[in-house]
Amino acid sequence: MNGQKVVKSALSEMEKFVIIGENIHTTRIVLRDGKRHKTLQNGEEIILYVDSEGNQNNISVPDWFKKTQPYEQGQIKHFMIVVLEAINGDKKTQRESASFVQSEALRQISAGADFLDVNVDEVSYKLDIQKEAMRWLVNAVQEVSTVPISVDSSNSEIIAAGLAEIDSSRDKTLINSVALERLETFDLVEKYDTKTIITASGESSMPTNDIERVENVLRLLEEAERRGIKEEDIFVDLLVFPISVDSSFGTDYLNAVKMLREEKGDAIKITGGLSNVSFGLPMRKIINETFIKLSLDVGANSGIVDPIQTNLMKASSLNLDLEPHRFARDMLLGEDEFCMNYIKAYNQGQLVVK
pLDDT digits 0-9 by tens, 164-177: 999 999 999 999 99
Report yes or no: 198 and 235 within 8 Å, Cβ to Cβ.
Answer: yes
How remote is the C-alpha of 251 from its chain's centroid?
20
How remote is the C-alpha of 33 from its chain's centroid?
25
Instruction: Specify the higher pLDDT residue, 311 or 278.
Output: 278
Report yes or no: 20 and 117 within 8 Å, Cβ to Cβ.
Answer: yes
pLDDT, mean of residues 112-127: 98
Would you kindly state where each structural domain of the chain is located, as residue ranges?
3-28+77-347
pTM of the model: 0.94
pLDDT, mean of residues 176-191: 98
* pLDDT of the residue at 5: 47
* pLDDT of the residue at 353: 78
Element (H, E) at 194: none
The β-bridge partners of 196 are 175, 234
Of the candidate ranges 6-10, 231-235, 259-263, 268-272, the one whose mean pLDDT is the lowest: 6-10
pLDDT, mean of residues 84-94: 97
3-class secondary structure, 303? strand
For helices 78-88 and 127-142, angle between their N-to-C axes, nearest 10 degrees? 100
Q: How confident is the model at residue 333 (pLDDT cuts 50, 70, 90)?
A: very high
Q: Which CATH class is domain 3-28+77-347?
A: alpha beta
* pLDDT of the residue at 80: 98
Q: How confident is the model at residue 14 (pLDDT cuts 50, 70, 90)?
A: low
* pLDDT of the residue at 4: 47
Element (H, E) at 282: none
pLDDT, mean of residues 311-330: 94
State which amino acid sits at residue 135.
Answer: R
Question: What single-letter DSSP state applies at residue 15?
Answer: G
pLDDT, mean of residues 189-211: 98
Question: What single-letter DSSP state applies at residue 21?
Answer: E
pLDDT, mean of residues 241-262: 98
pLDDT, mean of residues 125-153: 98
Q: Is the pLDDT score of 115 beyond 90?
A: yes
238 Cβ contact list (under 8 Å, min separation 6): 200, 213, 214, 217, 253, 256, 257, 260, 270, 272
State which amino acid sits at residue 244.
Answer: S
Q: Is the pLDDT score of 305 beyond 60?
A: yes
Element (H, E) at 184: none
